[in-house]
Amino acid sequence: MTVSSVNLSQVWENVREAVKDDLSAPHKTWLDHTVPLLANDDGFVVGVPNKWTLDWLEERLSPQLNAALKQATGSDMAIRLVVNQAAAQDYEAAASGTAPAPREEELLQTALLQDEFEPKYTFDSFVVGESNAFARNAALAVAEQPGLKYNPLFLWGGPGLGKTHLLQAIGAYVARHFPHRKVTYVSSEQFTNDFVGSLRAKTTDSFRKKYRSVDVLLIDDVQFMERKDGVQEQFFNTFNELHNHRKAIVLASDRPPKDINMEERYRSRFAWGLQADIQPPNYVTRLAILQQFVESQQVVFDDDALTYIAERATPNIREMEGAIIRITAYCELLKKSSVDRLCAEQVTCDLFPDCSHRPISIAMIQREVCRYYNISPSEIIGSKRSHSIVFPRQIAMYLSRELTDLSLPKIGSEFGGRDHTTVMHAQDKIKKLMGSDREVFNQVQQLTNIIKQKG
């Protein structure tokens, strides 16, 4: 049986009642302000008011909730919890005694809006240094006066230096400060897929409408549009239309416009506004970024440990973040509350190999993960939901996120066309498991080692 939006509420109500019956009185309220949002291939998504509730439910009630869902629907669909604004409002309203219940479409809308920008990518969380100040200031100026300042803004720089972070920060800022303006973030691959899909389905009109009705268009990784002529043309029609109407356009790429392989008449548009490059951070900025990363962790990092990472890591900030996550998980396993240089060295020796290596691809990660867990390539991208397949699949998604520079939507699409939220969920899940299960931590370390050596 599939769960349509019509019976979404009913199904959730049944699940909730079934599980509540088994809870002791003080715990019955944990399920009170939860709202079913959607059900699709990836599971039954339920909004909860805060992270605290999410953790509690996941830790204590996950098996019961899934069993009750199975009972209610007869399917193996898994429940996925997300922190969601609608649930939070419901919770607050109940706490203050006013309770306007939002309608289902509104709930869905907030769920989708919420998903669009990653909450951790904001201007506040972006550490400013010499290498990125110019780009960051330009991005903030656009966010404050979309369409009026620097149109288009073209951000460029190497992988892991913060381009996506800045695009998302602009999006989140505009969504928050100008709620009536429509802001869309899209990778150029997603844009391409959308366009090709609309050609196939003969819905190019709605494609046009969708992209030309936005007020702020953020396009990531435009270099992927190279050599895709039909798409380039579509893109520039969109570009011209938006630009003529003084709508804001921000582009990001791994190289400057002059090095992008496109027809000159297209490429020259990029240079109409402002180009801002992001350079690799120097040692001081790397240290400042590391300090910010560790601030929110439970364990305390020695200065020596941080300087070790700042010295060894490549300029890729994503790699530095990966190192901190590994070390934190390791400490949680060993119940250590602080990290010294030796500990940092032990845990990250695989992450920072001395030899240079070829870039790692998702295909390669999938191949090695399949071999390691003895499953087939079609299973890792397929739709089976048994634990023996889901777990390796999530490990492979986690490693793709950590070891490649590819975006969430791109990773999702390489795993049988899954949604980017599925990848986010896998990443969180494995991160947590690494901190609680020694076996999982070791498997991730071993796989990293294998993959890095092949690279």
Binding interface with ligand ADP (CB under 6 A): 121, 125-127, 132, 157, 159-165, 289, 317-318, 321, 405
Q: How far is CA 454 from CA 28, 361, 447, in A?
A: 51, 11, 11
Place of tokens 């009536």: 180
Considering the complex, state which of residue 162 and residue 257 has its C-beta at the smaller distance from ligand ADP: 162
Q: Is the Cβ of residue 407 or residue 448 nearer to ligand ADP in the bound state?
A: 407
The answer to whether 222 and 249 have CB atoms below 8 angstroms apart is no
Task: Decide whether 77 or 138 has the Cβ nearer to ligand ADP.
Answer: 138
Residue closer to ligand ADP, measured from CB, 3 or 317 = 317
Taking the complex as a whole, the smallest distance from the CB of residue 210 to Mg ion amounts, in Å, to 22
Phi, psi of 76 (to 5 degrees): -90, 15
Q: Which stretch binds Mg ion (CB under 5 A): 164-172, 238-246, 352-360, 443-451?
A: 164-172
For residue 317, the partner it binds in Mg ion, ligand ADP, none, with Cβ less than 5 to 8 A by kind, is ligand ADP
16 binds, among ligand ADP, Mg ion, none (CB under 5 to 8 A by kind): none
Stretch that binds Mg ion, among 19-27, 163-171, 261-269, 369-377 (CB under 5 A): 163-171
Contact flag: residue 164 with Mg ion (CB under 5 A): yes
| Per rule CB under 5 A, count of chain residues that contact Mg ion | 2
Residue 159 binding target from Mg ion, ligand ADP, none, CB below 5 to 8 Å by type: ligand ADP
Cβ 119 to ligand ADP shortest distance, Å: 11
User: 118 with 215: CB under 8 angstroms?
Assistant: no
In whole angstroms, how close is the CB of 71 to Mg ion at the nearest point? 42
330 binds, among Mg ion, ligand ADP, none (CB under 5 to 8 A by kind): none
Shortest Å distance, C-beta 186 to Mg ion: 12
Task: Give the nearest distance from C-beta 405 to Mg ion in angstroms.
Answer: 7
Stretch that binds Mg ion, among 144-152, 161-169, 346-354, 392-400 (CB under 5 A): 161-169
Residue number, 164 or 413, with CB nearest to ligand ADP: 164
Largest CA distance in the chain: 69
Smallest gap from Cβ 156 to Mg ion, in A, equals 11
Nearer to ligand ADP, 126 or 373 (CB): 126
- Residue 132 binds what, of ligand ADP, Mg ion, none (CB under 5 to 8 Å, by partner type)? ligand ADP
Nearer to ligand ADP, 127 or 362 (CB): 127
In whole angstroms, give the CA distance from residue 152 to residue 166: 14
Segment near Mg ion (CB under 5 A); pick from 113-121, 160-168, 235-243, 443-451: 160-168
Residue 243 site contact among ligand ADP, Mg ion, none (CB < 5 to 8 Å, cut-off depends on kind) = none
- Pick one of Mg ion, ligand ADP, none as the site partner of residue 401 (Cβ within 5 to 8 A by kind): none
Residue 146 · residue 138 · CB < 8 Å: no
* Closest CB to ligand ADP among residues 161, 262: 161
Closest residue to ligand ADP: CB criterion = 162
Instruction: Give least dist CB 166 to ligand ADP, A.
Output: 7
In the bound state with Mg ion, the residue whose beta carbon lies nearer, of 16 and 165, is: 165
The answer to whether 168 contacts Mg ion (rule: CB under 5 A) is no
Binding site for Mg ion (CB under 5 A): 163-164
